[in-house]
Structure 1
Amino acid sequence: MDDDVREQAEEAAEVNALFNALKHDSDAQVGAIMGPLMGENPEFREYGDQIAGVIAPVVERVNGMDAAEKRERLAELAPERVEELDAEDEEDDQILSDLPNAEEYDEVRMRLAPNPNGPWHLGSARMPAVIGTYKEMYDGWMLCRFDDTDPETKRPDLDAYDEILDAIDYLGFEPDEVIKASDRLDVYYDHARELIDLGGAYTCSCTGESFSELKNSGEPCPHREKDVETVREEFEAMVDGEYDSGEMVLRVKTDIEHKNPALRDFVAFRMIDTPHPREEAAEYRCWPMLDFQSGIDDHLTGITHIIRGIDLQDSAKRQAFVYDYFGWEYPEVVHWGHVQIDAYDVPMSTSTIIEKIEAGELTGWDDPRAPTIASLRRRGIRGEAIVDAMAELGTSSSNVDLAMSSIYSNNRDLVDEETDRAFFVREEGPGTEGAVAMPISGGPDAGEPLVHPNHEDRGRRHVPVGDEVVLEAGDVPEEGERVWLKGYGCVRAEDGGLVATGDDLDVVREGDVSVVHWAPAEGPRLRLRTMDGDVTGIAEPGVVDYDEDTLVQFERVGFARLDDLGSDPAVAYYAHP
């Protein structure tokens, strides 16, 4: 790293450290400012392994100021960040905008409508995050309805039902009721019969291609004027499974000359030969299309507000035809744009993730490289952090970008104060430069770093030195130069080893000596699973004494969830900086 880059990194770090300390009214942490620093300054990324060592002294200097000095210094360096702090203090606590006409209803009733064709990817979290938050805002009611009426193209995964409910619980919500659409076929059949009697539906045996030609030209299907009795008989034959797939459908009679061809006489029921995977539904062959099924259920369950993607605007218009036949009032609808996340190489697509798992490219839904809820959960990220980030996106009809840094920032706020610190020296893996083992002499037998820098009352860790310590390659001092081994003291590089100097902490405060982490060469080996691939190295011995599922912060590396401490190497999952 040249001097210009180092100077830029120090200046940017000081601004971020000042802002972080003032925002949270506590000491700034290197890990907490690394994410924003790298995100705002992409030119630093090639120096990723060196940046932490450069900014650590800056952070320590900032933490030595009182609040007034920090604010004065931030105003001098970046007055707009002080304005940002003041604006945040004045901000309303309500994240989401008001639901339309909510005051007109005795109770706000909303629904989640997942298709259980696999566990949830990260984008799926937006629906429970927003609807669950609205439920809390209005003291409302929330339904989870599994829209599982497509046993062929979006075939349900039997494990996904419980996995999705578990994900909702992880995000911090509990549905007031859970139903499966595949349990309700007779309900849909009864409403189809009523619709036929009202003259609102007809059976059609046109091929898809021939009907499409008629529809696009605004011409009626030749079956459109069948008498009700014939339609009823043919629909009962559909229910009894007497037709093959593609042989007969039931269509809702709309406006064959409607300006939008997609709304002209749409399909309500079709025949599917593939049995449903649920034993309770395997006998059925006549299945409702989603627009018919969900429209009926929304009314019967008293849904007052629907949130759906803007690409589903036609669904509301199709369902409105059905509602008009029955004399029902359509719920309020909010259409939102798609959420996009660009931090992953794997697309947010259930089918694509399944393909990559089956091909062995991912180890499972909780692989850290997978853009899934299960992955974030295994990495030690709390559901609340995801919910807050998703809710902050609001319900705009425009597509929105979710920065993973916002989830990480939220999670950091939740876990930082309670998370113990530990050392992990990276040897091999993406973004690492390797590690160097060096003999050490002249100092104490062990380092005694704080368990948590903000809580001296929680004590100190005992990290034995042994005959050799390991440092990350970028932290190894040149011959004759000094570094401060955190929790141990100042050492100088002499003859390929490290010799304690006896200097006190003033050499760090004065900016002459960098602070680095370390581990005894005989420490336990650990494999850290990250979004970029696995990183292996050596940890301080106390790491393997924790309970599995504990979150720790590897100093100058980031937060990680301890996953398997009985294996060799032990395994942890990287959460975030």
Structure 2
Amino acid sequence: MAGASAVLFYNPGASPFTSLVCASLTNSLRPNAVRTVVAKNVEVAKVRLLDGTEHSGNDLLASRLIATAVRSETALWGKSSEESKEVEEWVGHVEKGSMKLPFFCQTLNGRLQLRTFVVGHSLTLADVAAFAYVHKLGGNSSSTDFPADAQKFPHVARWWLFLSSQPAIGLVIAENAIAASATGSGASAVNGVEKRQGGKGGKGKGDKDKGKGEQSKESGEGGESAIGSGLSFPPLTGGEKGKVCTRFAPEPSGYLHIGHVKAAFLANYYAREYGGKLILRFDDTNPAKEKEEFESSIKEDLRTLGIVEDEVTYTSDHFPYLLDFMTELIKKGIMYVDNTSVEEMRDQRGKGIESKCRNNGAEENLRLWEEMKRGSAEGVTCCVRAKIDMKNNNKCMRDPVMYRCNVTDTHHRTGTKYKTYPCYDFACPVVDAKEGVTHAMRSSEYVDRNEQYMWILKACGLRTVEMVEFSRLNLVNTVLSKRKLQWFVDCKKGGVESWEDPRFPTVRGMTRRGLTVEGLFDFIKEQGPSRSTNLMEWDKIWAKNKQVIDPIAPRFMAVGADDAVSFRLAGAPTSVEGKMRPLHQKNPKVGECLQLYCDEVLLEQDDAAACAEGEEVTLMRWGNCFVDKICRDADGKVTSMEGRLHLEGDFKKTKKKLHWVPKLPDQLVPAVLQEFDHLITKKKPEEEDKIEDIANVNSQHDTLALCDPAVRTFPAGTILQLERRGYFRMDSPHWEGKTALVLVKIPDGKSKAMSTVSTKIDPAKLAKGGVLGKG
């Protein structure tokens, strides 16, 4: 994946709408093309270009810079030099800001009388700037509602409706709503559509917690995350407003996965709740595994999760301090150097036998320590161990290794400067204390090491760091081992190509499959701060996700392409007719699209086979019709049907509600519907399991389909519903000349299929896990 063409730093209080929309539009074409970073020290916006130069200024300056940086990928400046001049003229009109809303809309209305866009035949910076101007003058930064003062201008209204239904624009409006929810409005969004948490009538959760959310925002100094505000997690032991410091300390040796998410969420939550500080510290103590690309991906994934740290640090920043500190600890006899072989040391620790080196004097220990730091032939056979208790029932306390040599691998930040590196068990508590961490989030998998953590702090004379324990998220049929996941990537088993595969439990994989950040965090919130470790079913997390996406996912129809059945209808329009319809029957804010009608439609083969001559059925979003004739081939397969519209019929009285698409080959959108099963067949994998023995190499199932023409207008990342098939995420959007777009099916947590045509995978197995193909 190509890197970012520009980075937009912005102050959320200034709400630089135009530049944020430009970034959103560009990222819908190429994810992460323009990185967006919350920066409260920026007055409005600042853009960093590829050459490293930075430019601060107003919203329109930032949007111009972004449009120029991605000129080869977008048409924001138009598609010709003449169009570019016109775009700049309109941006100039907006920049002057001298027109009041009615006069500006009057000018714009005349321009749009015979046009879809302000300039040319595609969305440009002129549209975005004009939309932002009307949006700003309308006075509602968190709504797509058309301003009342502009409603007498029909062409502007049409243009506004079209633009506000574009997910890239709606996303920015929704983020303003999310920002508002941090102060109590309780709004959140997916696909750029606002959703109220309170449900029908009555107060929402945001209303109930309004005071608490506002207090959190006012007290926080760093970047807030709206997710998590107003929750009722237990208070921190010794936590004081403005003095709490938490950290999230991943190793840059792979992509963030679901096992990391809870730690990051809790660290962020408590830092914001107490108006404190969140440190993102890269635990880069193992040069054999770490890469700069993983560091970048972790930062990007945290942004995806809505988590913004206050400070980025590296354990390697403290290498000089840690070396000097270790020298003093060796002098004091708290640590010793051991040249016992790995195998013998492992055996001795298991049996509680002291090493022959345990009682060496300080002089010999210091000599061997110097050899380790030089990386000499003698030094590389040694390690530094803490002198604790070889008889302790907790084997983590049996003189654990604190430092070890590595002279073969180059550190991605320090190169070959160091020959010996601190182990996590030593570096973590020492650096926590040095960086001012007050509360360390520790998952229950480290429970045996907590005693060791506290021993190091006390033995080294360091200040106490409070521990906040929580259970790790463990899910059935899921492997989190980086080594085992790498096997799938390296071997390309089951079609896996990268760590972003939709079957992977990485943040990227899960979001690519359609798991929303809100759905994920709702699941975490429901688990609470429990320390008990349970193996969770996937149905719970997908059911939470469905609650988020169902109210805002636009609805479309699609039929299987391989054996679709032509259904000719008497009484239907003989030429193509179009009518605007809501994208969501219950949520008008999702927008509208054009529904096409003609006298011949396509049905699913399974639906056609279930129909009977003389039966009245309902065509969804159209009305009733009678089936007059069904033609079948020699094998009994339906080849065509004939019927007649009966729009006066009562849809409540029909047994069959069928989805369909107009038979318009030039306008239907070919698509590949991808369904994914579990990556492994074993419900609870063990450490000793060989991944090749439990791998499900037949976990991807594709269906060719023909979709509603309106689907072609939606960008990558859009979550939608195909009626009677389920929810899907646009993985690869439509573009001119493309054979087919790709839609990834999103599980909904149900153990039953939506219909006879909805799935190729047993949903009960997908929801509950277990060995595939067995009861």
**Partner SS, residue 742 of structure 2:** strand
**Partner SS, residue 462 of structure 1:** strand
Give distance in 1, aligned partners of 2:206 and 2:256: 35
- Aligned residue number for residue 439 of structure 2: 305
Deviation at 1:299, TM superposition (A): 0.7
* CA-to-aligned-CA distance 1:240-297 (integer Å, 9 cap, x gap): 1114686111111113333434312221111123313515234422111110011111
- Aligned residue number for residue 569 of structure 1: 740
Q: How does 1:32-71 map onto structure 2 within 5 Å?
A: none
Is 1:450 the counterpart of 2:593? The answer is no
| Amino acid in structure 2 at the alignment position of 1:573 | V
Is 1:286 the counterpart of 2:456? The answer is no
- Aligned residue number for residue 651 of structure 2: 508
| Amino acid in structure 1 at the alignment position of 2:572 | G
Is 1:465 the counterpart of 2:636? The answer is no
Q: How many residues align?
A: 482
- Aligned residue number for residue 718 of structure 2: 550
Give distance in 2, aligned partners of 1:158 and 1:466: 58
Moved more, 238-247 or 539-548: 238-247
Does the 8 Å CA contact 1:249/1:271 hold for their aligned counterparts?
yes
- Aligned residue number for residue 437 of structure 1: 566
Q: TM-score if structure 1 supplies the norm length?
A: 0.76
**Partner SS, residue 604 of structure 2:** strand
- Aligned residue number for residue 237 of structure 2: 101
Q: How does 1:267-282 map onto structure 2 within 5 Å?
A: 267-278=401-412, 280-282=414-416
- Aligned residue number for residue 354 of structure 1: 486
Q: 1:309 to 1:537 in 2, by over 3 A?
A: same
* Structure 2: runs of 5+ lacking an equivalent: 1-201, 210-228, 631-640, 678-700, 749-775
| Amino acid in structure 2 at the alignment position of 1:531 | F
Deviation at 1:373, TM superposition (A): 1.2
- Aligned residue number for residue 40 of structure 2: none
- Aligned residue number for residue 708 of structure 2: 540
**Partner SS, residue 189 of structure 1:** helix
Does the 8 Å CA contact 1:276/1:284 hold for their aligned counterparts?
no
Deviation at 1:485, TM superposition (A): 1.0
Give distance in 2, aligned partners of 1:471 and 1:113: 51
Does the 8 Å CA contact 2:513/2:729 hold for their aligned counterparts?
yes
Does the 8 Å CA contact 2:244/2:274 hold for their aligned counterparts?
yes
* CA-to-aligned-CA distance 1:56-98 (integer Å, 9 cap, x gap): xxxxxxxxxxxxxxxxxxxxxxxxxxxxx99x99998964531
* CA-to-aligned-CA distance 1:86-116 (integer Å, 9 cap, x gap): 9x99998964531441336752211112122
**Partner SS, residue 297 of structure 1:** helix
Moved more, 188-197 or 97-106: 97-106
Give distance in 2, aligned partners of 1:459 and 1:296: 57
| Amino acid in structure 2 at the alignment position of 1:564 | P
| Amino acid in structure 2 at the alignment position of 1:399 | T
Deviation at 1:126, TM superposition (A): 1.7
In the alignment, which of 451, 463, 467 is matched to residue 317 of structure 1? Answer: 451
Give distance in 1, aligned partners of 2:478 and 2:702: 17
Q: Which has the higher helix share?
A: 1
Does the 8 Å CA contact 2:553/2:584 hold for their aligned counterparts?
yes
In the alignment, which of 531, 547, 551 is matched to residue 676 of structure 2? Answer: 531
Give distance in 2, aligned partners of 1:453 and 1:259: 63
In the alignment, which of 142, 148, 152 is matched to residue 284 of structure 2? Answer: 148
* CA-to-aligned-CA distance 1:155-177 (integer Å, 9 cap, x gap): 12331111111111111111111
- Aligned residue number for residue 20 of structure 2: none
Q: 1:228 to 1:557 in 2, by over 3 A?
A: same
- Aligned residue number for residue 181 of structure 1: 315
* CA-to-aligned-CA distance 1:397-434 (integer Å, 9 cap, x gap): 21134454444444444444444221122357xxxxx6
- Aligned residue number for residue 37 of structure 1: none
Is 1:203 the counterpart of 2:348? The answer is no
| Amino acid in structure 2 at the alignment position of 1:117 | S
Q: How does 1:217-228 map onto structure 2 within 5 Å?
A: 218-228=352-362
Give distance in 1, aligned partners of 2:481 and 2:605: 38
| Amino acid in structure 2 at the alignment position of 1:439 | R
Give distance in 2, aligned partners of 1:160 and 1:486: 47
Q: 1:548 to 1:257 in 2, by over 3 A?
A: closer
Deviation at 1:540, TM superposition (A): 1.1
Q: 1:281 to 1:187 in 2, by over 3 A?
A: farther
Q: 1:348 to 1:91 in 2, by over 3 A?
A: farther
Higher relative contact order (CA 8 A, sep 6+): 1
Q: 1:198 to 1:451 in 2, by over 3 A?
A: same
Does the 8 Å CA contact 1:463/1:542 hold for their aligned counterparts?
no
Give distance in 1, aligned partners of 2:318 and 2:566: 66
- Aligned residue number for residue 662 of structure 2: 520
In the alignment, which of 217, 241, 249 is matched to residue 113 of structure 1? Answer: 249
Deviation at 1:561, TM superposition (A): 2.7
| Amino acid in structure 1 at the alignment position of 2:566 | A
Give distance in 1, aligned partners of 2:507 and 2:351: 45
Give distance in 2, aligned partners of 1:517 and 1:119: 40
- Aligned residue number for residue 190 of structure 1: 324
Give distance in 2, aligned partners of 1:438 and 1:282: 71
**Partner SS, residue 371 of structure 1:** coil
Deviation at 1:302, TM superposition (A): 1.4
| Amino acid in structure 1 at the alignment position of 2:472 | H
Does the 8 Å CA contact 2:619/2:625 hold for their aligned counterparts?
yes
Give distance in 2, aligned partners of 1:463 and 1:359: 46
Q: How does 1:373-522 map onto structure 2 within 5 Å?
A: 373-427=507-561, 435-444=564-573, 445-446=576-577, 448=579, 449-455=581-587, 458-459=591-592, 461-465=594-598, 467-474=600-607, 476-496=610-630, 497-504=641-648, 507-509=650-652, 511-521=653-663, 522=665
| Amino acid in structure 1 at the alignment position of 2:658 | V
| Amino acid in structure 1 at the alignment position of 2:399 | D
Does the 8 Å CA contact 2:394/2:448 hold for their aligned counterparts?
no
Does the 8 Å CA contact 1:121/1:349 hold for their aligned counterparts?
no
| Amino acid in structure 1 at the alignment position of 2:651 | V
Give distance in 2, aligned partners of 1:472 and 1:133: 51
Deviation at 1:467, TM superposition (A): 3.4
Give distance in 2, aligned partners of 1:174 and 1:90: 25
Q: 1:459 to 1:111 in 2, by over 3 A?
A: closer
| Amino acid in structure 1 at the alignment position of 2:554 | D
Deviation at 1:380, TM superposition (A): 4.0
Q: 1:498 to 1:513 in 2, by over 3 A?
A: farther
Does the 8 Å CA contact 1:307/1:335 hold for their aligned counterparts?
yes
**Partner SS, residue 493 of structure 1:** strand
- Aligned residue number for residue 14 of structure 1: none
Does the 8 Å CA contact 2:569/2:645 hold for their aligned counterparts?
no
Does the 8 Å CA contact 1:305/1:334 hold for their aligned counterparts?
yes
| Amino acid in structure 1 at the alignment position of 2:568 | P
Q: 1:464 to 1:282 in 2, by over 3 A?
A: farther
Give distance in 1, aligned partners of 2:670 and 2:549: 25
Give distance in 1, aligned partners of 2:602 and 2:392: 77
* CA-to-aligned-CA distance 1:118-148 (integer Å, 9 cap, x gap): 1122232222122222222222221111222
| Amino acid in structure 2 at the alignment position of 1:536 | L
Give distance in 1, aligned partners of 2:391 and 2:538: 46
**Partner SS, residue 292 of structure 2:** coil
Could you tell me the percent identity over the aligned residues?
23
Q: 1:576 to 1:217 in 2, by over 3 A?
A: closer
Give distance in 2, aligned partners of 1:136 and 1:514: 52
